[in-house]
Amino acid sequence: MRAVVQRVREARVEVAGRVTGAIGTGLVVLLGVGQEDGLEQARRLAEKIAGLRVFPDGQEKLNLSVSEAGGALLVVSQFTLWGDCARGKRPSFSRAAGGEKARPLYEAFVARARELGLAVATGEFGAMMEVHLVNQGPVTLLLDTEKTF
């Protein structure tokens, strides 16, 4: 699994003009599922993101996790994170999982984050979405279960 994680002051996702998920302070997680991913990757990535110390403490050091900072997650499915741009000008998405595999792993990630006590809002899996956010810092991190774990 791959994730782009952005610390935000606020964020929301809209589908056809309708807000499907919104948060105040927290993390936007753009989540891509690969063909080789399974439940273990979904669970471990949720745990990793929940524990990331990317929020400032009283001394402005990045020492607090999203829950310690009183924040939430906004999780958005993003198969294009698996885009391979090595050849030509059109990305190849051959390593991205199809919807029948990706949806349950996306849902498992969201479920595990909730089990960890986090408030989680979501986009709409497979929909054309507009993601609105105010990146704070900015703080943006890339996580890949093939490399991180």
Over residues 38-73, the pLDDT tens digits come to 999 999 999 999 999 999 999 999 999 999 999 999
- Which domain CATH number covers 53? 3.50.80.10
Domain with 143, as residue range(s), is 2-148
Contact 27, 49 (CB under 8 A): yes
Contact 130, 65 (CB under 8 A): no
**pLDDT confidence of residue 148:** 72
Catalytic residue list contains 55:
no
**pLDDT confidence of residue 6:** 98
**pLDDT confidence of residue 27:** 98
Both tokens of 144, joined, read 């890949």
* Residues with pLDDT less than 50, the chain: none
Catalytic residue list contains 78:
yes
Radius of gyration of the chain (CA): 15
Exactly one of 41, 55, 79, 109 is catalytic; which is it?
79
Instruction: State the total domains in the chain.
Output: 1
Exactly one of 35, 80, 140, 149 is catalytic; which is it?
80
Q: Which is it for the CA torsion 123, 127, 133, 135, positive or negative? A: positive
Give the residue carrying structure tokens 């989540």.
31
